[in-house]
Amino acid sequence: ILVRLQRPGGEEQRDIVRGTKAAEFHNHIFEKVSPEMEKLGYECKCLGGGKIDHNSKDKKIRVFGLSTGYGKADHSVTVEILKKVYTDYEFTWSDDKK
Greatest C-alpha distance within the chain: 44
Q: How many residues does the chain have?
A: 98
Contact 65, 92 (CB under 8 A): no
**Which residues are annotated as catalytic?**
26
